[in-house]
Chains A and B, each alone.
Chain A
Amino acid sequence: MLLAQDAPALGVFVPGNVAPFFALLVFCALVYIMIQRARAGQRIPEIRKIPGLEAIDEAIGRATEMGRPVHYTPGLGEATNVQTLASFAMLGHVAKRCAQYDTRLLQTNVEAFVMAINQEVIRQAYLEAGRPDAFNPDDITYHSPEQFAYAASVLGMYERERPAANIMFGAFWAESLLFAEGGAYLGAIQIGATANTHQIPFFVAACDYTLIGEEMYAASAYLSKEPVLTGTVVGQDLARIGVFALIILGTVLAHVGETNWLTGILTK
């Protein structure tokens, strides 16, 4: 919160946000350049193989062979959470595959807004797969806005429906291990993806495949294989190289005791 006596930095900026603004500009420029290169058909690097995303078709295929459903949860994130935004693209892909393989998709929700969007995403996916008749809105369920009530409800559903594939893609908190271990007891193929760092170890321990951190954000580009989307991921990686260069510069300056000017710029 700004105080009345605060003065703008450099005449226009919120104090403390000058460096982040220019960092944002550089980041946007990198992404824009990569998008333009992709649009012009110029060569851009490919995204490395991500086993967790490769395994999605395998998991749905196994569920199809076993005649059992696929379960998909976006976690507890609200529709405004960037992890949930990434989850919509993944859900679209999973729903399309389920429609193509004629496999039942059970999609559970904790957020009313997210559920409404998920319904539309799944409906559209079934339409694109040419199977609008197979779309069953009753398989998209709202459980509870409470974390553990939702977890208990999903664990109950596991026992009744026995899904053969369990895809957890979004923002998870303490319920992550309940879902993942519950799925492991069923013998389901499990794919976990979250950017909540405190939950990643649980997914690593309990899931067959885990997408760590930014891998989940690359999912839409990876699955769609669209050069323009891939361009944004490449731009992001270039920005990462820049940040690492800054870390190395900071480490060197810290060793020679000359960090004041750098911290002065970064905190302006």
Chain B
Amino acid sequence: MRKEFPMLLTVVAALAVILSQFFFHIYNLGWLDVLDKWSNLMWAIAIGLGVINLTLIHGKKIMRRAPGYYNSIVLLLVLYGYGILGLITTTEGFHHKWIFDNIFAPMDATLYGIIAFFITTAAYRAFKVRTWEATVMLLAAMIILLGSAPIGEAIWGYWGDVRSWILNIPNTAGMRGIILGIYLGGFATALRVMLGLERAYLGGVGGR
């Protein structure tokens, strides 16, 4: 029963969504809206449980003076401090917004910025001419770079056209093939879950 009941719920919810997508009269019953509301409600309950869980785990850590307990103090201070501030001033309040705009946003942007450097190092390894596939990739990348950078246009006026051709014809064709496979594969996976053939999400190995 521990596995059968969740599976039954999965099948019923999936059928409700599928039938609502295709059948006009079932769509008008509004099952999708009901499921959406339940989903939001579950998220809200999960957040509440998460806060209680975090408080208990880190509270115990602080009480026991476990290694790294000072990190737990910071976590609880930020969790409750920022939460209470948001409740008092609303998320549009000056102090709440200031903390978000001047601490969270720059740190987020900084980490995002690191990707530029990582792209360079990853590309360096990937573009080493070791195989003919890597050579083709390197040539395509060089043409795309020359077609995108102003220097390419200065060297030869048609780099932009070649770049557009590579992006719009072979690249799009390949990408659409991959996307087609992804959609069919994704649906086959969903079907396996619905039919109870893939039960890994209930705890198990190798799809069963």
Contacts and interface: CB of A to CB of B under 8 A. Distances in A.
Contacts of A96: 205-206
Helix, strand, loop or mixed for chain A's interface?
helix
Interface in A94-109: 95-96
Interface in A53-109: 79, 82-83, 85-86, 88-89, 91-93, 95-96
A213 interface: yes
A206 B188 contact: no
Interface string B171-208: 00001001111101111111111010110111111111
B121 interface: yes
B102 interface: no
B152 to A, nearest CB: 21
Nearest to A244: B180
A2 B200 contact: no
B112 interface: yes
Interface residues of B, number: 51
B111 A236 contact: no
B115 interface: yes
Across the A-B interface, give the 6 residue pairs with the lowest CB-CB distance, nearest first. A214-B185, A220-B207, A217-B185, A224-B206, A8-B24, A205-B126
Interface of A: 2, 6, 8-9, 12-15, 17, 20-21, 24, 27-28, 31, 35, 79, 82-83, 85-86, 88-89, 91-93, 95-96, 112-113, 117, 120-121, 123-125, 128, 146-149, 151-152, 174, 177-178, 180-181, 184, 195, 197, 200, 202, 204-206, 212-218, 220-221, 223-224, 226, 228-229, 232-233, 235-236, 239-240, 243
Interface of B: 18, 21-25, 27-28, 46, 50, 107-108, 111-112, 114-115, 118-119, 121-123, 125-126, 175, 178-182, 184-193, 195, 197-198, 200-208
